Structure 1
Amino acid sequence: MRSSENAIETRDLFDRETREHARPDGPGVRVERTGPVVRQVGGPDDWNGVVWSDPELEAAGADAAIAAQIAHCTALGLPDFEWKLYSHDRPADLGDRLRAAGFVPEEPETLLVAPAALLAGPVELPEGVTLRPVTDAAGAELMARAHERAFGTDGTRLLHQVVKRLEEAPEDFVAVMAVDADGEPVCSGRMELYPGTGFAGLWGGGTVAAWRGKGIYRALVAHRARIAAQRGYRHLQVDATDMSAPILSRLGFTELGTTTPYVYRQAR
């Protein structure tokens, strides 16, 4: 991915394999192709939203598709529903149309991709810190605690999703955390493996403020990259925040664009 042509080819492959032909990201959810969009549908604690829209989508078709998703969300009684918009999606004013329909944009993230083998180096950790796989509900609770301490957000939904995944469909899911000498979680991250594709997605990496700058985040990336490469996945993909994007770029990730969550919440 050293040239813009290679980056576009990788982006097109990513779109085709992980968005247009998306697979459910956990038990109890399903992926539906409805008209010009592909969406995931589950319960109120699952991620529900549009993952792909037809690149030939034009203005009138976009407005109709947006209205259909609002009707779908309302009929199911979902508390929120997301349209995951990428910077190369069409029409060019799709974000404006989503806002006009009541969707609220959250902070954009940078879509980054890197060869898994390139990142699968030695794991180096500060003294007293160890990596621990998350394999049960107790581990998931610690993972959610690390998430809350790192991001300052509620980890309830994350806890629900990780426990459900570990209990019902753990084969394509990796969760890991770093703990200090007292067993307190200081960083955590997940990896989704997408069978039938060349991609593995890194999610949720976050380090508690007092432990940042010590290489723990990089160690979790390397740990997951090694597992992905061992299982035959060529590419790692990350939707990176402004905090993690510079670190990942230094590690060898290539920027393919941005992605913005547009969230529709029903009035209460």
Structure 2
Amino acid sequence: MPMDAIMPMLTLNNGVTIPALGFGVYRNPPAQTTVAVETALANGYRLIDTAAAYGNETEVGSALSQSGVDRARLFITTKLWIDDYGYDSALRAFDTSMAKVGLDTLDLYLLHQPLPSDFDATVASYQALQTLYEQGRVRAIGVSNFGTAQLAELLARTDVVPAVNQIEVHPYFTEPELRAFNLENGILTQAWSPIGGVNRYAAKSGNVKDPLRDPLITALAAKYSKTPAQIILRWDIQQGLCAIPKSVSPKRIAENIDIFDFYLTNAELSDISALDTGIRGGPNPEDIRRS
């Protein structure tokens, strides 16, 4: 049975469905992106997540056009970067992104970050996303890296509840309060760095707290004859998260989607959640400024 035929689907607050597991291309060099996305599609991934700031939208578009996968079976996300915030500039940036990915309609368009120093521009940008949604040019809109206070203000000043809030979530940074706020407001939590890779590439020293090496995770991997990454991704999926792991390794790309033949127990899920350190690996969204 094709992998995409058994992929769990999650329903967004507007009725659009999204695969529970996708493929991200953050930090993927453009020269490696097309092959990585082609490999992901060949292994059954149908959700591909990119962003204007990643510098590889064109390469993602090349992979999509060459894949032969029916467009109706794909779910493509890209994001608006803060340098293009503002109503008119957001609309122009969307057109640029669409030309790069080679699509007429986008499945999900996100604000990449809140801009605390100019939240009026953040709101204006989201209002541009609302226009695109009303025009039918995007099937769903949302945000990334928004905290509860920023979401609350956005909800108070706009009309369309974000379908998604894409945030850092992994066993060492579980964000329970923000995830609960998302759930309460009908917003799907999508996990970037869902296996904790950000802890490795953002480390300033050799003292890296890596969930993949945690004794609990490695013990569960041995128990289920799975990799540590597969254990963590299973934890993501069983909590109702949408996870978008990234890799350029064909072996890891294939392994990361091979997680639908086993289940963790409720006790095991709780034990993994208890590994939370409360320390994010990525930048604090409150510190983001325009370049």
Report if TM-score (shorter chain) is over 0.5. Answer: no
More strand by share: 1
Task: Give TM-score, length-normalised by structure 2.
Answer: 0.38
Structure with greater contact order relative to length (CA < 8 Å, sep ≥ 6): 1
Larger helix fraction of residues: 2
TM-score (structure 1 length as normaliser): 0.41
